Amino acid sequence: MLRVLLGIAGAVIVLGIFFSVLGTLVIPRLTRSSFTRVVQRTVHRPFQWMADLTHSAEVKDRLLAPVAPLAILITLISWLAFFLLGYALLEAAVSRLGVRAALTEAGSSLFTLGFASGNRASLNAIDFCAAATGPIVIGLQVGYLPALYAAYQRRETEVTLLESRAGSPPWGPEILARYAQVQLLDDLTELFRGWERWSAGLSESHTTYPILIQFRSTKAVRNWLIALLSVMDAAALRLAFNPSQPKAEVRMALRAGFVCLRDIADSRGIAYDHDPHPDDPLQLTYQEFLQGVARMTEQGYPMERTPQEAWPHFRGWRVNYEGLVYRLAWDIDAVPAPWSGPRRTPVVIRTPLTPIDRRPVT
C-alpha cells in the first residue's frame, strides 16, 4: 500500500509539473499554472515588502527591477526540484530503494550525470523518462528566454520613443501640447495608428508571457502602462475637444488600448465592468482635468469645445479604462504620473510631472 501511495504521489507531481512547463513555455496562449503563479508570488513578496518601505521612486524601481528575471530562474529551479522529487517517489515505488538512494537514482538520470544506475527494468524505464525530462525542460527554458526578451525590447522601443513626445513620466495632455508646440498635429494620426498596433502586440505577448507585466523599464520614469495610459488619454482628449478632426485612427487606438488592458486583467483574474456607462464617475477630478487643459492651452493646442463641453465626452471615453489602469498601476507599482491613480506608498520622483520646455530668452 505504501508503494502504491508513493507511486501515485510521484505520478501526480511529475504530471502536474509537466503541464506547468507545457502551459508556461510551449502553448502559445494564456494558460493558468497555479504552480508558476505561486512561485512568482513567493519571489515577489519580499521585494515588494522592501519597496513599500521606501518613498523614493528610483529606490523602489531598483528594488523591484530584479523580481521578474529572478522569478524566471527560481521557476526553472523549482520545476527541476519537483521533477526530482516526483521521479524519486516513482523510483521508490517500483523498487526497495530508500529515500536517499531513490533521490540519487532520480538525480543521476534527471541531470544526465549517469553515476547511479539501477538493474531493474522498471527502474531503467523511469531513468529514461527522467533523463529525457532534464534536457527538455532546460532546452525549452533556453528557447523561451529569447522570445521573452524580444517581446520586451519591442515594447520598450515604443515606450522610449514616446518620451520625447509625452514627457517623463508620460502624460496625455503633454502629448497634445508638444505636438501643437512644434506644429505637428497632423502627425497625430500616425502616432495613434502605431500605438494601436503596439497595443495588439502587447496584448498577445503579455497574456502569453504574463511575467512580462512585471518587467520594468531601464529608467525609473519609464513604464509601459503609464505610456499606454498617456496615449489613450491623448486620444480621448483629441476626440473630446476636436470632433471635426479625423476620428478613425483615434478611436481604433483607444479601442485597442482598453481591449489590451482587459485581456491583461483577464489573465490576472481582475474583475471589471464590461459595459460601463458613459456617466459613471471617474477618480480623475474635473480640477485635474482642467490642469491638463491648461497645459495644452499654454502650448497653443486648438480646441473646438470649451472644457465644460469636452468634459462629458472625455469622461465617457476614460471610464472604459481608468479603473483597470489604476488597479494595474497599483499592482506593479508603476512610476507615479499625473492622471494615473494612487500607489502603495507615497513616493517622490525627481523629474517634473509636467515638463515645461525652457527656451532661451531673446
Alpha-carbon distances of 104 from 80, 115, 118, rounded to whole Å: 14, 9, 11
- pLDDT given for residue 345 in this prediction: 81
- Decide if pLDDT at 352 tops 50: no
**Vertex 227, ends 225 and 229: CA angle to 5°?**
70
d(Cα 81, Cα 258) in Å, to the nearest integer? 40
pLDDT score at 349? 56
Cα–Cα dist 320/341, whole Å? 15
| Residue-level pLDDT at 128 | 79
The answer on pLDDT for 154 being more than 50 is yes
Q: What is the pLDDT of residues 31-78, one digit of tens each?
A: 667 888 899 999 999 999 999 998 888 899 999 999 999 999 999 999
Q: Is the pLDDT of residue 112 over 80?
A: no
Higher pLDDT, 361 or 128: 128
Which of 155-159, 207-211, 342-346 is modeled with the greatest confidence? Answer: 155-159
Cα 85 to chain centroid distance, Å, stands at: 32
Q: Is the pLDDT of residue 354 over 80?
A: no
The residues pairing with 160 across neighbouring beta strands, listed in sequence order, are: none
CA-to-CA distance for 252 and 169, rounded, in angstroms? 24
Percent of the chain with pLDDT over 70: 91
pTM over 0.75: yes
Task: Please work out, in degrees rounded to the nearest 5, the angle formed at the alpha carbon of residue 182 by the alpha carbons of 155 and 310.
Answer: 80
Which has the closest alpha carbon to 254: 172, 310, 187?
172
CA angle 216, 224, 190 (to 5 degrees): 145
What is the rounded CA–CA span in Å between residue 62 and residue 361? Answer: 38
Residue whose C-alpha cell is 553515476: 115
| pLDDT of amino acid 239 | 96
Question: What confidence tens digit (pLDDT) does each residue in 176-194 have?
Answer: 999 999 988 989 999 999 9
Q: Does the pLDDT at position 353 exceed 60?
A: no
What is the spatial distance between Cα 345 and Cα 326, in angstroms, rounded to a whole number? 14
3-state DSSP assignment of residue 193: helix
All 3 cell numbers of residue 338? 499625473
Q: What angle do CA 235, 157, 211 make, to 5 degrees?
A: 95
| Residue 300: per-residue pLDDT | 92
- Asked whether the beta carbons of 332 and 214 are under 8 A apart, the reply is yes
What's the whole-number mean pLDDT along residues 128-136?
A: 82
Residues with Cβ within 8 Å of residue 117, at least 6 apart in sequence: 105, 108, 127
161 membership: H or E segment, kind and range: helix 121-166
Residue 265 to residue 260: CA distance in whole angstroms: 9
**Contact yes or no for 324/262 (Cβ under 8 A):** yes
The candidate with the shortest Cα–Cα distance to 293, out of 195, 185, 171, is 171
Averaged pLDDT for residues 93-112 = 79
Comparing CA positions, the residue from 230, 168, 176 lying closest to residue 199 is 230
- Across 52-56, 88-92, 142-146, 346-350, least confident range: 346-350
User: What is the distance between the alpha carbons of residues 126 and 332, in angstroms, rounded to a whole number?
Assistant: 42
Give the whole-angstrom CA distance, residue 53 versus residue 46: 11
